[in-house]
Amino acid sequence: MKIIQVSKAASAGIAAGKAFFYKPVDLKASAGLVAPGQTGAELERYRRAEERAKEKIGVLAKNSDIFQAHLDLVDDPALRDGVVRRISEKRENAELALQETAAEIRERFEKLDDDFFRERAVDIRDVCRTLMLALKGMEENSLAGIREQVVLFADQLTPSDTAGMDLRFVTGFVTRTGGENSHVAIMARSMGLPALVGVGDKIDEVAAGDSVILDALEGRLIVRPDEATAALYAGRRERYRRHLKMLRQTNGLPAETTDGCRVRLYANAGNLEDVKKAAAEGAEGIGLLRSEFLYMQSAHLPTEDEQFAAYKSAAELCGGEVVIRTLDIGGDKSLPYLPFEKEENPFLGWRAIRISLERKDLFRTQLRAILRASAFGKVRVMYPMIISVDELEAANRVLRECEEELARQGTAFDADIKAGIMVETPAAVLCADELAQRAGFFSIGTNDLTQYLLAVDRGNKKIAALYDSFHPAVVRSIRTVIEAGHRHGIPVGMCGEFAGNADAVPLLLGFGLDEFSMSAARIPEIRYLIRGSSRKEAQGLAQRACRCASAAEIRRLVEKKGK
């Protein structure tokens, strides 16, 4: 028996079965050139491959919105124009032109710091594999033929890979690459399958056919378990199933403490598909809609009408409030049609609200679209990375001007729309009282706030252990912001990962957080924990936490409360 400690789970649970290693078909293109005068025929061959790929993806799109996005990618000008240009100008064959164009686009996304946008590279890879298969007249290796209980191992899994999978036989996933917000993680959570992702070379310690237990509660693999260990995990799996059943029993119930304190549970969303999933998990609204997806998936600046259509859909799909964050890009999230100068430290550079206030043409277009969408649902607008009253007032002036323009044009919008800010910088924490007098609400972005407060690059693996939202500086800052917001009568939410951290629930309840916004999959457990908590007890714990000298001390305090 071998125990391999691998990583944190991307989808919780326990699974068992034989190790099955999935390898996709090798589709590397040859370097051949098209004969002079034959580029027209090669372009036509690519056009026919597009049609075949769209037919195949269209069938899958009937059951998943992920594939609707894939259909859009086939027609994306950045992809199509790149392929056409390479065939026409370089006389590359269609396979090579597709391979090289896709690589350029993927590289752009893979360089980004944001996990959500890095995942767009997986979409590009998946769509281009479908196109390549159509060009070559080949079929992908299928998972549909599995007929015994297996744990699926792969370097990477895409939506297309798992589309035909039989869930009676696949009990869990383990992948070499990927993160908590990767497609494979999201797919595993939606299917209710345990998953460990981003395990790296530790995947090589397992051989095909090995009997394995996937413990996605503790982040480990047990290879060739003995009888006693197998029996132990069978019991743990049953207890976990009962726990999930208890969580489901709270569906439809309010997030209310035992002593009558009601809070709101919202979901974070990166696209319209996430908005749909949020409702299914019982979210009361969308606490963070990242508008960047509209910009990143397009080869041009999205027009006002294009943005309006997306925001309107979000408002109509949600059923509750939708908080739309204005464009949050910078040196780490470049756009081909919006040039950025190379910066030494893009996280401290020209980004987020700084871009919007300098490029007011972009800002006005987005704000007008958001305002128009507010006529079709409960919409709020949120400015990212605010550091001063001056920035907030400048942003609000542009918003008021857009409202006046729409009113003159007779265009409907919510005249009482609230405009709030992301509190994600130390400056915003220290100026929270002044900002609260001018903002409609606060939303604490703990991901960046932790990074800036602790001077820790959260993407740097060498210092990853220093990145800790339980650090006293972060915990005290959260208290400061909530107290300032409440002094001035505005609601305070949180849209960072800390909001979905089970251990953080008593702290946040004790501080008086009004809105928790998190990954939709985390909502059932957080709701269950809130319903079993006392606000009065949480207040006492939160006060003690603020007197702690270290993150370890705070963790011990909340863990003791949870026992």
Is the four-CA dihedral 502, 507, 510, 513 of positive or negative sign?
Answer: negative
Choosing from 70, 128, 183, 431, the catalytic residue is 183
Choosing from 128, 318, 402, 495, the catalytic residue is 495
First to last CA, the chain: 31
Alpha-carbon gap, residue 500 to 469, rounded angstroms: 12
Could you tell me where the beta strands, DSSP code E, fall in 160-234? 170-175, 195-196, 211-215, 220-223
How far, in Å, CA of 78 to CA of 297, rounded? 9
Instruction: Sheet with 220-223: list strands edge to edge.
Output: 2-5, 220-223, 211-215, 14-21, 150-154, 170-175, 195-196, 9-11
Residue 88 vs residues 93, 96, 159: alpha-carbon distances, Å: 10, 13, 32
Sign (positive or negative) of CA dihedral 411, 386, 326, 502: negative
DSSP 452-505: HHHT--TT-GGGGGG--TTSHHHHHHHHHHHHHHHHTT--EEE-SGGGG-GGGH
The answer to whether 471 is a known catalytic residue is no
Tokens of 212: 């394995």
Longest CA–CA span in the chain (Å) reads 79
C-alpha of 335 from chain center: 19
- The closest of 414, 417, 408, 337 to 383, measured between CA atoms, is 417
Task: Give catalytic status of residue 183 as yes or no.
Answer: yes
* E strand map for 14-84: 14-21
Catalytic site residues? 183, 495
